[in-house]
Structure 1
Amino acid sequence: PRLGPKPFSSNSGDVSFDKVFAVPVAPGSQENIHHASTAGSADNGGDSFVAPAPPPPVAAATQNKPDLIVEIEIKKPNADNEGDSNVQKTLSTSERRKSSADADESPDKIFEQTHSESSENSTEGDDKPDAELRRFSAARSSIAERRRLYESRSKSTVEEKSQSPVPLRRELSKGEPFKPQQQANLTTPTADVKRISAPEGKLLEERRRNVSTSVDGGGAAIKKSATEAAITNTHKRTSTVFGKVSKFRHLKGTTGHKSTHIENLRNLSRQIPGECNGFHANHERVAVPLSGPGGKIAIFELSRPGRLPDGVIPSLVNGSNIMDFQWDPFDSSRLAVACDDGIVKLWRIPEGGLSEPTNTPERELIAHLDKIYFIRFHPLAEDVLLTASYDMTVKLWDLRTLEEKILLTGHTDQIFDLAWSPCGKMAATVCKDGKLRVYNPRKSETPIREGNGPVGTRGARITWALEGQYIVCTGFDKVSERQISVYNAQKLNAPLNTASLDVSPSILIPYYDEDSSTLFVTGKGDSTIYCYEITDEEPYICPLSHHRCTSLHQGLSFLTKNHCDVASVEFSKAYRLTNTTIEPLSFTVPRIKSELFQDDLFPPTRVTWKPTMSADEWFACNDRKATKLSLQPEGMEALSSIQQVAPAKKIEHAGNGSSGGALTRAEFEKNKQQEIQKSVSARLEYNTKLEQDDMEGVDENEWQED
């Protein structure tokens, strides 16, 4: 029996269900607009509803790319409200319960109806726009159906990512190269569109398929051209592990036998300036500075190794502090010593060595009025000496007449080092002001090129590499870390590469071997000789096997190439000064056929132990190149002459008794390797026994169930 009006009906006046409860709507729908209008009319005390705007056509929706809009049509059971049957409204509690009960009773029926209606809409297209609203009938007004609609809408939302450029491999596989317009068509402008409807997603997918189908043909020719281009641009063979492959990577440093050492050294000087290497040797004798007043330099004959007596050591007494000293490269008995009074003293060592201390030099050269930083002999011209002083000038002297020939200027601070180019025409300096300078002394008194060098002010060294094409500079950075830099000799604005080593106060002294392009660097007080190969391609500095000594050394001096034992594959020889000994040090490369002359390691070397020109010829710009000499001993065969290329052998296939095609050398080598692998496999023991076969299992009775 009906006892009263239906609670929470639309005619209930101020007491409205819409003001108490609100069913959450699906995101993207326009139902919230109708809900707001309904709430506004309720506040005014009326029951009127705002009619929704007619739905837009499907074609217009496709052009404007709207989101999927959910329209809900509610039919009221009362006959009095038939005029309002097409009005959109939020569900009431009773309608929600009734609709959910109906949906629970026949979910399959609703699903079939939904599927049929959606298929009809897909076939009708733009001719029947009302079909879109028919899909959302009263049967879909339940909470379960609304949830299903919400989930299906979230699945149909496509969020396109910005597509990356077409890869080269993918582009070359197409029938013709992409044009800018064609590539613009492929790239869908979806950066500004975050959500699209389900029909939009289908259209985009079909568009991608059509484009990919239209450009699929004729890719074989482009692939072939790409392959040929890749083969043309192949680089030199390099190791994937170590980078550039070097013949001297596994060099080995070996200290000579103890019988060749000079022992019991005493009173070594620790006051030598940083610009001086502190130790020099030639193939006959070595010069070692001693501590104490008078500027003493001890001379030891290498032909008389052993333990030194405890008495007075024969030495050269200069009378003032020693700044630098160097052996004449063309005369092993003449030693030049620079002192802090600006005088260069030329000493002549008698045959057989010193027998007692002496203070009478052969000649004296008053070079500067201030202290001298260092002295350098010319590498090719005889009797040409260079001096650098605290007055920031560099002078070139003719030692035969003791006459100053050239004065170089342009330095603004202390000069750390100077190095002659291999051709003897150029000279490079590194200065405390952080600049590298290259001079052509016979043409200009000022530098012809200038660039930035090491920023540290502790000290630096410089040398030339690769026939004068590059300059190697060692120094410090801002945090006193030792580093090695390689510069192009024609462009000094910035280093090509810089290798950092460690933090140490000692200056790295470089020693460069021309034939092997090996750079040896070490410092006073170090126990490691760092080895690098300087190349003309990146990374320009390739680390080799470093040599670690058993004790600290105070200096290192290398000999010329003609004193290397090539029969033992010795490509460099040096003498090492420690606190108490002088030891020979040999650097070799491991080779299997050491009885042969390794001509790939020992190319014709420049003769640097004999003068190429006189001082007058050099100052007159009559340059001559240094002669080259082969280091191959007599009666020793070269490795290249033994390694003869074997002719391509023809091997007939004997599989079926008929003669097959002739094998090339590569195929022959491959077959030979397979035969070797088979022979090695045949020697291996073939055992199919498993480890668990020797294990003792449990008793069979234990597996029986009780």
Structure 2
Amino acid sequence: MVSSLSSEVCEQRLDEHLLRMSWHPQYRSSKFRHVFGKPASKENCYDSVPITHSVHDNHFCAVNPHFIAVVTECAGGGAFLVIPLHQTGKLDPHYPKVCGHRGNVLDIKWNPFDDFEIASCSEDTMIKIWDIPKQLLSRNLTACRKELVGHSRRVGLVEWHPTAANILFSAGYDYKVMVWNLDTKESVIKSPVKTIDCHQDVILSMSFNTNGSLLATTCKDRKIRVLDPRAGSVLQEASYKGHRASKVLFLGNLKKLLSTGTSRWNNRQMALWDQDDLSVPLTEEDLDGSSGVLFPFYDTDTNMLYVVGKGDGNIRYYEVSADKPYLNYLTEYRSYHPQKGIGECGVPRPLGALRDRDEADLSPTLGTSAGGLTF
């Protein structure tokens, strides 16, 4: 009897031992777990760039396959620089500027359908459309192609429609989003084709979905709104009190929104939302207690998300999936230099292929220099 009992105990212990040996932790496999940031070498950076001192929370930098544009500090009005990508090194102090605004330039965006056309908006309530010559600028460019007049207060944001050519959206401190059709002969356009007047405070960010059928905005009232840009109506509005959003971004074709902002405890936070239901976020993640605004960038080809903080020296990146846990932290790029602004490079990739360690190209502006950062 005792022998039988001890035999059963030994068998039970053996089973437990084998179970412990067979168990192993389950790690999520990701083909991007070894992605790392590679900064451009000094000779491939842009030095002595007089970057704006404006405290407006925006990118201050825009990049396309030919040029990098940087909002600059200057006296007597607003201006920005347009530098060919290949023209790296120390910038001439007298390098020609694109100037014509009477107030500080607050935002610049390249036309996705024309690499030689850029829109700018300013504290002077004006929006200007500029044609950039293919050859190098030899003197200051002061004559714009079109001037858009409609906002009653400063204009903080401009955004091109992603699928309709020559359609531009602007957001002003008058709480209005205006839609402009640039396919007109007039050099001065005084009437937008539509005015969206549903916000109760200053609009902080705008983002289109892939086909341009939806427009997401964040406002100083900390609410996220999803709009029908054609009808100008509000389709969804976030009333969740636990997340105060400052920036919002559509995540490609995932039918999801990502917002960055602060929690009710004033920690920097990002939240993921279903674009059809903004009642409660799908997930939230607190990052740290810093105060700089977080700018999200999304690479639709790789489903990778990059989160850049103004004044930070690091860039966090995640892999986004359609299923839980949705946001999978990979790692972060660290630098000793804080970012002043950042732009995403739209250099096209070969179809179905990625260049070596080139999941995304970002161009941070750091103090008085700008340089590329490749992942």
TM-score when normalising by structure 2: 0.86
Q: 2 CA distance for matches of 1:270 and 1:296?
A: 12
1:298–1:316 contact (8 Å) kept in structure 2: yes
**CA shift in 2, pair 1:456/1:414, >3 Å:** farther
Q: Is 2:136 the partner of 1:353? A: yes
Measure how far apart 1:323 and its partner are: 2.3
> How large is the RMSD of aligned CA atoms in angstroms?
2.1
Q: How far does residue 483 in structure 1 lie from its aligned partner after superposition?
A: 0.7
1:584 aligns with 2:372: yes
What is the distance in 1 between the residues matched to 2:242 and 2:96? 42
Is the 8 Å Cα contact of residues 116 and 133 (structure 2) preserved in structure 1?
Answer: yes
Q: Which runs of 4+ in 1 moved over 6 A?
A: none
1:250 aligns with 2:34: yes
- Is the 2:263–2:286 Cα contact (8 Å) retained in structure 1? no
* Deviation per residue, 1:372-396 (Å, 9 max, x gap): 1211001111101001122212111
Indicate the structure whose relative CO is greater, using CA pairs within 8 Å and at least 6 residues apart. 2
Q: Contact conserved, 2:122 with 2:156, CA < 8 A, in 1?
A: no
What SS does structure 2 have at the residue aligned with 1:546?
strand
Cα deviation per residue 1:561-593 (whole Å; 9 max; x = unaligned)? 515883424222222211232222111xxxxxx
Q: CA deviation at 1:530?
A: 0.7
1:483-533, CA deviations, whole angstroms, 9 ceiling, x for partnerless residues? 110001111001011111112221101110011111101122111011012
Question: Structure 1 residue 446 and structure 2 residue 229: aligned?
Answer: no
Q: Which residue does 2:303 correspond to in 1?
A: 517
1:239-298 per-position Cα deviation (integer Å, ceiling 9, x unaligned)? 9354x3221122111112333222222x32111411x21111112111112223211212
Distance 1:454 1:541 in 2: 21
How far did residue 410 of structure 1 move? 1.8
Does the Cα contact within 8 Å between 1:341 and 1:369 map onto a contact in 2? no
The structure in which a higher percent of residues are helix is 1
Correspondent of 2:358 among 570, 585, 604 = 570
Structure 2 residue identity aligned to 1:415: I
Map of 2:12 onto structure 1: none
Matches within 5 A, 1:493-508: 493-508=279-294
1:408 counterpart residue number: 196
Same amino acid, percent of matched pairs? 27
Counterparts of 1:567 and 1:435 in 2: how far apart (Å)? 38
Q: What residue identity is the alignment partner of 1:405?
A: V
Confirm or deny that 1:287 pairs with 2:69.
yes
Task: Name the one with the larger strand percent.
Answer: 2
For residues 251 and 411 of structure 1, do their structure 2 counterparts lie closer, same or farther at Cα, with a shift above 3 Å needed?
Answer: same
Cα 1:537–1:380 shift into 2, 3 Å: same
Give 1:560 shift: 2.4
Corresponding pairs, count: 343
List aligned pairs for 1:434-583, cutoff 5 A.
434-442=222-230, 444-452=231-239, 460-560=246-346, 562-563=348-349, 566-583=354-371
Equivalent pair of 1:413/1:433 in contact (CA under 8 Å): yes
Distance in 2 separating the partners of 1:571 and 1:371:
36
In the other structure, the counterpart of 2:19 is none
Q: Would the aligned equivalents of 2:64 and 2:347 in 1 still touch at CA under 8 Å?
A: no
Task: State the shift of 1:539 in Å.
Answer: 1.6
Q: Name which of 305, 320, 325 aligns with 2:103.
A: 320
Tell me what 1:261 maps to. Answer: 45
For 1:89-128, what aligned pairs fall within 5 Å after superposition? none
Cα drift, residue 453 of structure 1: 5.4
1:283 and 1:563 in contact (8 A); partners too: no
Unaligned runs of 5+ in 2: 1-23
One-letter code of the match for 1:354? L
The whole-number CA distance in structure 1 between the counterparts of 2:78 and 2:323 is 46
SS of aligned partner of 2:38: strand
Counterparts of 2:165 and 2:31 in 1: how far apart (Å)? 35
> Does the 8 Å CA contact 1:409/1:446 hold for their aligned counterparts?
no
The structure-2 alpha-carbon separation of the partners of 1:392 and 1:505, relative to structure 1 and needing over 3 Å to count, comes to same
Shift of 1:456: 6.7
Q: Is the Cα–Cα contact under 8 Å of residues 289 and 298 in structure 1 kept in the other structure?
A: yes
8 Å Cα contact 1:423/1:468 also seen in 2: no
Whether the aligned pair in 1 keeps the contact of 2:43 and 2:88 (CA below 8 Å) is yes
Q: Which amino acid in the other structure matches residue 162 of structure 2? A: P
User: Hey, what's the Cα distance between the residues in 2 that align with 1:288 and 1:515?
Assistant: 26
CA separation of 1:409 and 1:570: change in aligned 2, threshold 3 A: same
Q: Distance in 2 between matches of 1:398 and 1:341?
A: 21
Report deviation, 1:358.
2.8
Cα distance in structure 1, aligned partners of 2:253 and 2:228? 16
Normalised by the size of structure 1, how large is the TM-score?
0.47
**Structure 1 residues 344 and 287, CA, compared in 2 at 3 Å: closer, same or farther?**
same
1:259 partner SS: helix
Match of 2:169 among 386, 405, 417: 386
Instruction: Point out where structure 1 has 5 or more consecutive residues left out of the alignment.
Output: 1-238, 588-706
SS of the equivalent of 1:345 reads strand
CA distance in 1, matches of 2:372, 2:51: 18
